[in-house]
Amino acid sequence: MSESPQTRRLGTSGLAVSAVGLGCNNFGMRLGLDESRPVIEAALEAGITLFDTSDSYADSEEILGEVLGSRRDDVVLATKFGSHLKGALGPDRGARGGRRYIRRAVERSLQRLRTDHIDLYQLHRPDPLTPIEETLAALGELVDEGKVRYIGSSNFTGWQVADADWTARTSRLPRFISAQNEYSLLERDAEAELVPACERFGVGLLPYFPLASGLLSGKYRRGADVPENTRLAAWNMTGALTDERFDVLEKLQAFADERSVTMLHLAIGGLAAQPAVSSVIAGATSVDQIRANVAAGTWQPTPDDLAALDEIVPSRRP
């Protein structure tokens, strides 16, 4: 068995999370309850403490609530609201960051997760209709009531992170302690605006698609059949396997081979080494993947390793 992941603070908050978390969007979508159970059990056993889900990931919240059961307090439960649920929470007219919507969304998530509080409640995407002050105030009420411990954003741009932080501080409202955005060795655009904003405001980054949906696991090979039972096959995403991507993946594989590590170590340990990143919330569909991902998080690249990775996939830092 691999070592447990390190524990870190989420941004500058007092919330401690494992440096390797578990993204839960496979539960209810790729895996039913019986298949999800051993994966979640393995994550607990491996020392993962951050579980990230959403009210929009099919039955993921229900499955987590059921499997965690009495162990709920052993973990940091993060969920999200604000995605388009096609009217499942009643008409919202696109204002899913408004007080009216948030009050409905939180009650449903609490019920499905079988808990009386959510540790990290994240706005899944910016709401173009509702002023951020109202969203923060509505979330602040939930914090005051103890239904929510901390709040986070997702899919915000750098300026939106800055604006929300400024609004919270000047209006004496709770701050978003985390930002969840796409970020991986293959997709470094977040470094242009979002990462500097997170660093400046002490917001912890939770990168999503850290494995580029499995491309960075090393299991796809140029010219080879796409392995069955993989996300790319199941979700008809084989278009992601372009020659351009393989050019980069093959360079990463060579870099990994030279250092006697795997591509997974680069993807997870390399991302965890980025200063803004608090926890790498990789998704998994098997017990073996959980173990491999936790082990991969123990790789600590040197500054030279990071510089060499920048040569392969240029940083977008300003």
Name residues contacting ligand NAP, limited to 95-154 (CB under 6 A).
124, 154
Among 162, 171, 180, 156, which Cα is nearest to 97's?
Answer: 156
CB of 56 to ligand NAP, least distance (A): 9
The verdict on 26 binding ligand NAP (CB under 6 A) reads yes
Name residues contacting ligand NAP, limited to 256-285 (CB under 6 A).
264, 281-285
Name residues contacting ligand NAP, limited to 31-60 (CB under 6 A).
52
Applying CB under 6 A, among 95, 249, 252, 292 the residue interacting with ligand NAP is 292
The verdict on 299 binding ligand NAP (CB under 6 A) reads no
d(CA 80, CA 120): 8
CB of 279 to ligand NAP, least distance (A): 11
Is 57 part of the annotated catalytic residue set?
yes
d(CA 270, CA 297): 8
The verdict on 209 binding ligand NAP (CB under 6 A) reads yes
One symbol per residue from 55 to 84: x for binding ligand NAP (CB under 6 A), - otherwise; what is it? ------------------------------
Say which residues have a Cβ less than 8 Å from residue 271's Cβ, sequence separation at least 6. 183, 184, 185, 207, 210, 277, 280
Burial 265-276 (b: 16+ CB within 10 A, else e): bbbbbbbbbbeb
In the complex with ligand NAP, the residue whose CB is nearer, 171 or 238, is 238
Applying CB under 6 A, among 212, 252, 273, 309 the residue interacting with ligand NAP is 212
In the complex with ligand NAP, the residue whose CB is nearer, 120 or 142, is 120
Size of the site for ligand NAP (CB under 6 A): 30
Residue 113 C-alpha from the chain's centroid: 18
The verdict on 211 binding ligand NAP (CB under 6 A) reads yes
Question: Residue 37 is which amino acid?
Answer: R
Task: Note the residue count of the chain.
Answer: 318
Report angle CA 271, 277, 283 to the nearest 5 degrees.
Answer: 65
The verdict on 298 binding ligand NAP (CB under 6 A) reads no
DSSP 31: B
In the complex with ligand NAP, the residue whose CB is nearer, 57 or 101, is 57
Q: Could you give the dihedral angle defined by the CA atoms of residues 43, 49, 50 and 54, in that order, rounded to the nearest 10 degrees?
A: 60
Q: Report the first-to-last Cα separation within the chain, whole angstroms.
A: 40
Helix, coil or strand: residue 233: helix
CB of 10 to ligand NAP, least distance (A): 15
CB of 9 to ligand NAP, least distance (A): 20
In the complex with ligand NAP, the residue whose CB is nearer, 164 or 282, is 282
For residue 100, give the H/E element and its range.
helix 99-113
**Catalytically annotated residues:** 57
Interacting residue ranges for ligand NAP, rule: CB under 6 A: 23-26, 30, 52, 124, 154-155, 180, 208-214, 217, 219, 230-231, 264, 281-285, 289, 292-293
